[in-house]
Structure 1
Amino acid sequence: MGQSLSAAKLRSRRDWDQRQRSKPKSTSLICPMQAEEAEERERSSIDGSSDFISNLPDECLASIFQSLSPADRKRCCLVCRRWLIIEGQSRHRLSLNAQSDLHPLIPCIFSRFDAVTKLALKCDRRSVSIGDEALVLISERCRNLIRLKLRACRDLTDAGMSAFAKNCIGLKKLSCGSCSFGAKGMNAVLDNCPALEELSVKRLRGITDGAAAEPIGPGVAAAALKTICLKELYNGQCFGPLIIGAKNLKSLKLFRCSGDWDKLFPLIVERVTDLIDIHMERIQVSDVGLVAISNCSNLEILHLVKTPECTNAGLSAVGEKCKLLRKLHIDGWKANRIGDQGLIAVAKSCPNLQELVLIGLNPTKLSLEMLASNCLNLERLALCGSDTVGDAEISCIAVKCIALKKLCIKSCPVSDHGMEALATGCPNLIKVKVKKCRGVTPEGVDWLRAIRGTLTVNLDIGEQLVASASDGGAQDDGVEFPPMVAGQIGTPSIASSSMGRSTSFKFLGLLSGRSFVSCTLRRLASSNDCSQT
């Protein structure tokens, strides 16, 4: 039987060769590569082993490449010339090491990747970065660029940014950190990129300090801007004209930017009426600024991180007028200037509150009971570094917070009695994380798990981490604790597009895992010593 099949295949191959020799020469314009592929497909169909992948249209193959990881894409592009071409033409995101030796390679790189729309240029801080000529060359070959990220490109100047902005007028997102260009380069982008929606600036070294600083903005881009994030700027107030002119601005984030922001916030709020998210961390702002912010009637998210001049009066003004508030993060920095009075004002007027993070504050049962009773949608609560949150306060939360799903307690005088209250309260609670609360013991956690088998409980007491969950003790990536140095909770934002764990939680989990392993090894070593004696 096998010999007859082999003979049949030989006859079919011989007949196919004769037909090919007897065929007249085709005059159609077919390249040699296409002819070879056609012959290979015909041979494979005769042998009964059709190559379906080669028959896929370029569009389908490109769609497959886009669903692969970067490493898999690199491997696939080495399969054949066709895959190499399609992979390059279908790549829209590219990240390059922006050192000075990149310049001669730019024509070759962007000849292959000619459809890039999102580009990241990152340079090591100890290396020499690309200069203006390289950036201009990139802009000439990537005129459809919509996103650009610059990191530590210290050799870029205002002239290079001006030429880039004129070539990439469709830019929608710009993020630059530790770069050396200044106000002229930034203004060039704002004047030539009317579609710019997101702007993030960190440590822009070219901005001069003091009153002589050149103002930035507004430019034609101000009308489209929706997000502005400024970090670690010596004179961030030079962006004032841009912020005031961005009438459609939704999110304003200020991190460690020097200057008196109380003078700017009244002007900002007067012109920008649709602000939804305001984040202030270590900036000079007081109740004057908070009173101005309270006029943002659409405000939904507010972060007050290490702003010691803000008091109960400013928070009360925000609570009374910003009735749509749903996320509130406060790091009082142990200043004791925000407490029950401000929190009660929030509780009375903000029924939509879903997430509350209190760090370095000393709320009592009075304000926590009001928050639990009036904010019926409160799902996430974090209490960190408080001297007043004890068993009575946790018991109040357990009775009143019906909708609570995630609870974080860190460095608070809570004991096992507080954990016992959680056994019968908070019917929707799914995750509890307790860290550095000396009164809570592993036995108390085990008891709580025995009572509520579906509840995930993570206990971190110094070096030892006890993870207790319904799946046999697997650690869960639910509620995260903020590092006390950073001063902010690690729970992901609702508007975030990330699908994985945050960096802070990965680092925390890594440390916790090491502590757990080391503790286990110590216990094993001690048991071996006991057995030997």
Structure 2
Amino acid sequence: MSVLEENPDSPLKKRPPRWSDIWLKKTKPLKHVVFAMQLQSLASKDPKSQTLIPHFANIDRTLLLSDELLLKILSKLPLSQRNPNSLVCKRWLNLQGRLVRSLKILDWNFLVSGRLITRFPNLAHVDLLNGCLFSPRNSGILLTHRMVSMQMRYGNCSNWELLEENLLPVEVVDGGLQALANGCPNLRRLVVINASELGLLTLAEECLTLQELELHKCNDNVLRGIAACENLQILKLVGKVDGLYCSLVSDVGLTILAQGCKRLVKLELSGCEGSFDGIKAIGQCCLMLEELTICDHRMEDGWLAALSYCENLKTLRLLSCKRIDLDPGPDEYLGFCPSLERLYLQKCQLRSKKSLRALFRVCEAVREVVVLDCWGLDNDMFTSASVCRRVKFLSLEGCSLLTTEGLEATVLSWLDLETLVVVSCKNIKESDISPALATLFCNLKELRWRPDAKSLLSSSLMGTGMGKKGGKFFKRT
């Protein structure tokens, strides 16, 4: 007989495995939980062991949670608690950094040193605009522009000279783009200034998911690098900015862009030159383009006719344009955008009736028209909008030259009009409202009427039945 059989209580005898042993195998966090529960139970039963309670209370219970589980918990908290949570401990600081998706860089060394990638490894949106500017931090002079804000040493030079002096060299910007591309392969949106073709090519090769790009101080050569971003969907190009910097984007660059970025959905051209050929190339190649914004353009006459090649264009925005198109050509060559739904004009100088008439001719299929703070829009010019027969929504704000007679002559021809907004148009008088225009008001689904601060239309129309026909309502702002 063996020793094990003679002494059944021997510690060498193997016992059959228990379910708790199998269940707790390779589950380190769970063992900590069981140990903590046992420790707390012993402390509560034995009065002599009360000294264990303070030691147990100092244990960081979040250490029992994995990083993945703690990340899910932290991601559910509101954004206002993000900064306080990062001060709890180093682990929470690192985990909060993994939750950050969007960041504006102010210190260029933070990017090139690698600390940015270490601190925020999952960035998807990065703004490098202000980080590309070198400015003294203790200066008392601040230069603010609608695009950039920077401190300056002295104020006896032009804004253009100041920006050129304090702008990081192209080689330095390209080096930062390479570091960003290597550390953030999942980058989706980027804002940068003074980059070159090589820097953007590196970005296009490493960041295949890049979908949105905003490029300042752009020129034709730089667009060769942008053309390599095959998955780009939203693009903003800023060429020349008066008083700040000068850069040229012409038909050459627009053609390169059109042939490379064929998946564009939204395109904004600010301070860009060009002509019929450049816009035509974009319309023919970028078949998915739905929204086109043109800001402060320097395009040659005749470019409006090229918009007809944008067959899927749904929204056209003209912002801060000093002119539209002084010589658009005959109507038979203009064509029109068949899918256009929205026309938005803001802070434009409408000097020529011929150019405005050509614009409305190209946009004759539009359903929404918004005119905001545009100089020069009088009765004679606004009547050219009568060609747009499908308008359902009209918003006029800050059109000081337009009168009630000019408004009535146009809106009465729009049989599908459902919403009318008139705000801060001082020459539109309530006393000049005709019975036909009043009848139109009653048939609208929505009317926001405040041409001046003394508007009393809402009170004067009480009891007329407005707002009681088929769910239509009247709203005053």
The TM-score range, normalised by the shorter chain, is: 0.5 to 0.7
Distance apart, 1:230 and its partner CA? 0.8
Indicate if the aligned counterparts of 1:287 and 1:310 stay in contact, CA closer than 8 A: yes
Structure 1 residues 170 and 101, CA gap change in structure 2 (3 angstroms): closer
Partner of 1:329: 344
Question: C-alpha distance in 2, partners of 1:95/1:190?
Answer: 20
Distance apart, 1:278 and its partner CA? 1.9
Structure 1 residues 312 and 120, CA gap change in structure 2 (3 angstroms): closer
Indicate if the aligned counterparts of 1:431 and 1:457 stay in contact, CA closer than 8 A: yes
2:463 corresponds to 1:447 = no
1:174 to 190, 193, 204: 190
- 189-198 or 289-298: which moved more? 189-198
SS across alignment from 1:381: strand
Distance apart, 1:264 and its partner CA? 2.5
The aligned runs of 1:24-103 (5 Å cut-off) are 37-40=33-36, 61-78=70-87, 86-89=95-98, 91-95=99-103, 97-99=105-107, 102=110
Deviations 1:259-314 (A, max 9, x none): 34345234443433443222222212244211122222222222234252515846
Question: C-alpha distance in 1, partners of 2:360/2:257?
Answer: 35
Indicate if the aligned counterparts of 1:384 and 1:411 stay in contact, CA closer than 8 A: yes
Partner of 1:500: none
Partner of 2:271: 256
The aligned runs of 1:106-145 (5 Å cut-off) are 106-107=114-115, 110-111=117-118, 113-121=120-128, 122-123=130-131, 125=133, 127=135
Q: Specify the structure having the higher radius of gyration (Cα).
A: 2
Indicate if the aligned counterparts of 2:111 and 2:180 stay in contact, CA closer than 8 A: no
Question: C-alpha distance in 2, partners of 1:288/1:153?
Answer: 36
Question: C-alpha distance in 2, partners of 1:345/1:181?
Answer: 39
Indicate if the aligned counterparts of 1:255 and 1:281 stay in contact, CA closer than 8 A: yes
Question: C-alpha distance in 2, partners of 1:412/1:422?
Answer: 19
Deviations 1:78-101 (A, max 9, x none): 557775565444x04142553256
Question: C-alpha distance in 2, partners of 1:255/1:181?
Answer: 17
Letter matched to residue 256 of structure 1: G
SS across alignment from 1:357: strand
Question: C-alpha distance in 1, partners of 2:66/2:454?
Answer: 62
Deviations 1:411-464 (A, max 9, x none): 3510123678558625444352535x4xx6244454357865753323xxxxxx
2:441 corresponds to 1:457 = no
Deviations 1:148-193 (A, max 9, x none): xxxx9836333443454456554433221xx343333234334554
2:297 corresponds to 1:288 = no
TM-score, normalised via structure 1 length: 0.58
Partner of 1:487: none
Question: C-alpha distance in 1, partners of 2:199/2:312?
Answer: 33
Indicate if the aligned counterparts of 1:286 and 1:307 stay in contact, CA closer than 8 A: no
Structure 1 residues 65 and 406, CA gap change in structure 2 (3 angstroms): farther
Letter matched to residue 432 of structure 1: R
Partner of 1:230: 237
Letter matched to residue 236 of structure 2: C
Count of aligned pairs between the two proteins: 387
Partner of 1:345: 361
1:183 to 191, 197, 208: 197
Question: C-alpha distance in 2, partners of 1:415/1:321?
Answer: 34
Distance apart, 1:123 and its partner CA? 3.5
Indicate if the aligned counterparts of 1:62 and 1:86 stay in contact, CA closer than 8 A: yes
SS across alignment from 1:65: helix
SS across alignment from 1:221: coil
Question: C-alpha distance in 2, partners of 1:345/1:326?
Answer: 14
Letter matched to residue 336 of structure 1: S
Structure 1 residues 385 and 249, CA gap change in structure 2 (3 angstroms): same
Query: Which of 1 and 2 has higher RCO (CA within 8 Å, sep 6+)?
Result: 2
SS across alignment from 1:275: coil
Partner of 1:272: 286
Structure 1 residues 357 and 221, CA gap change in structure 2 (3 angstroms): same
SS across alignment from 2:306: helix
Question: C-alpha distance in 2, partners of 1:41/1:423?
Answer: 78
Between the two proteins, what is the percent identity of the paired residues?
17
SS across alignment from 2:309: coil
Question: C-alpha distance in 2, partners of 1:309/1:410?
Answer: 24
Provide structure 1 residue ranges, at least 5 long, that are not aligned to the other structure.
1-23, 48-52, 130-151, 208-212, 459-533
TM-score, normalised via structure 2 length: 0.64
Indicate if the aligned counterparts of 1:172 and 1:197 stay in contact, CA closer than 8 A: yes
Question: C-alpha distance in 2, partners of 1:318/1:426?
Answer: 40
2:453 corresponds to 1:434 = no
SS across alignment from 2:476: strand
Structure 1 residues 243 and 445, CA gap change in structure 2 (3 angstroms): same
Structure 1 residues 261 and 299, CA gap change in structure 2 (3 angstroms): same
